[in-house]
Structure 1
Amino acid sequence: MPATAAVLSTTAPPGATFRLDGVRLGRAGGSAVLDGLGLRIRAGEVLAVVGPSGCGKSTLLRTLAGLLPPLSGTVTQDGAPITRPDADRALIFQDDALLPWRTVRGNVELPLAIRRVPRVERRRTAEDWLARVGLAEHAHKLPHQISGGQRQRVQLARALAARPRAVLMDEPFGALDAQTRTGMQDLLVDVLACTGATVVFVTHDVDEALFVGDRIALLHADTVVDVPLPRDRSADRSALRRRILSSL
């Protein structure tokens, strides 16, 4: 095996921890969308982030991803400043961003190929993740040959195949119909259970936040609330739902 080739670990990596202290976020030369933000994100948790449009949810994700530096304050992962993108952090958007000329399996293999994982290993890993998201029989197809919900499954498999320590999700199911969206929420909760990854999940949907999140950050109110267990759609969380909606 070449010395430059990478081999994926067989054990789940620990989730990343994030800390934001006195953070001001926005684009240089423009007004800040968040100012004085303080936030702790625990290893292995799913933190759902809600708030009205323009409150800085997507800006927060891009800062955690290392794509947008803070205007002031500190943003760290495991105590080290975040200064650039890193393979430890996967970013998932509402647009699936699949490469149209690569097959479904080829798209899932892409981050592994970039890391120079040997062909046999990345093929096995891609096929394993496609099976986990219920798309094993579609591995040979191109993205335009599958549905929007299936493309989002491919994007999820691609993000998790490289075993990131954090997954940053920006309204990933926002463009899906209600039934497909519910199925994707169930799938997300199921597959994340075995990854150990920390997840920051941005959404406008309070019910979605209540289902997928361990905690919910209300950016506009500078508040984080715990979501009681069990994670069950039949659980009565009406009081917490009303509290969140009233804050919006």
Structure 2
Amino acid sequence: MRLTLADAVVGRPGAPVLRGLDLDVAPGEILTVVGPSGCGKSTLLRTLAGLLPPLGGRPSQDGAPLDGPAADRALVFQEDALLPWRSLRANVELPLAIRGVARTERRARAEDWLARVGLTEHAGRLPHHVSGGQRQRAQLARALAGQPRAVLMDEPFGALDAQTRAGMQQLLVTVLHGTRATVVFVTHDVDEALFLGDRVALLGTGRVLDVPRPRERAASADPATVALRREVLASLGDRPGV
């Protein structure tokens, strides 16, 4: 899915946070979005999800107007939002059940995605009986089980410890491989943005920068990646040597 904003104004009535926004997210790419706190990152995501109508301009998907939420655009939040009285398996099945998918098929899809994210042994457990990282794995499985064409992620790993967060980043790259889903991933973490993104959007500056490849942890020491990291940090107002 191609997601596009052209000369858009986003925010709430009487309180715009971004003006003249141009953004073109190519089909199948991972676009990471960074920017200072309060610059409108989450507002942008909700606009692309169809939850917040733009104040000006019109978002589109594949060239057609984007009017309201749709099943082919999944939204993943920092808080896992799992229903506490439903097992992980039942949580993954829920959006499929709402869409009328037959019980046998939705069970098979849920089991498949729980296996992909390493939760087969925990499928029958309630959310409060597993770790935060495992809950986020379940949320990722729930989002992808519906076979969305776009996944919009609002700092989904922000509450995790560093080791779990790194594992979730790698897992995301792995499970997205072959889905061809377009991803817009909002984060405060510059290193996360550069590891995950094919491109990184510096919100508020109008700039979208290509990220050097390959996507490997060791690539963080590559001169091109180091230079890009300094550039992104400078756009956030941080000292370039941080």
TM over 0.5: yes
SS at match of 1:67: coil
**1:103 is matched with which residue?**
87
Match of 1:26 among 2, 6, 11: 11
**2:206 is matched with which residue?**
222
Unmatched segments (≥5 aa) in structure 1: 1-15
* CA apart distance, 1:32: 1.2
Q: What amino acid sits opposite 2:144 in the alignment?
A: L
**1:242 is matched with which residue?**
230
Which runs of 4 or more aligned residues in structure 1 lie more than 2 Å from their structure 2 counterparts after TM superposition?
none
When normalised by structure 2's length, the TM-score is 0.95
Q: Distance in 2 between matches of 1:103 and 1:192?
A: 24
Match of 2:51 among 50, 57, 67: 67
* CA apart distance, 1:220: 1.7
When normalised by structure 1's length, the TM-score is 0.93
1:52 aligns with 2:52: no
Match of 1:177 among 142, 146, 161: 161
* CA apart distance, 1:81: 1.1
Q: Distance in 1 between matches of 2:93 and 2:42?
A: 26
* CA apart distance, 1:241: 0.2
1:188 aligns with 2:172: yes
* CA apart distance, 1:231: 0.4
Q: Distance in 1 between matches of 2:82 and 2:22?
A: 34
* CA apart distance, 1:31: 2.3
Q: What amino acid sits opposite 2:232 in the alignment?
A: I
Deviations 1:51-110 (A, max 9, x none): 001111000000000000000112101111111100010000000000111110000001
Identity %: 71
Q: Distance in 2 between matches of 1:209 and 1:147?
A: 24
* CA apart distance, 1:229: 1.1
SS at match of 1:98: coil
Unmatched segments (≥5 aa) in structure 2: 237-242
Q: What amino acid sits opposite 2:230 in the alignment?
A: R
Q: What amino acid sits opposite 1:19 in the alignment?
A: T
**2:146 is matched with which residue?**
162
Q: What amino acid sits opposite 1:18 in the alignment?
A: L
C-alpha RMSD of the superposition: 0.6
SS at match of 1:95: coil
Q: What amino acid sits opposite 1:145 in the alignment?
A: H
Number of residues paired by the alignment? 232
1:202 aligns with 2:190: no
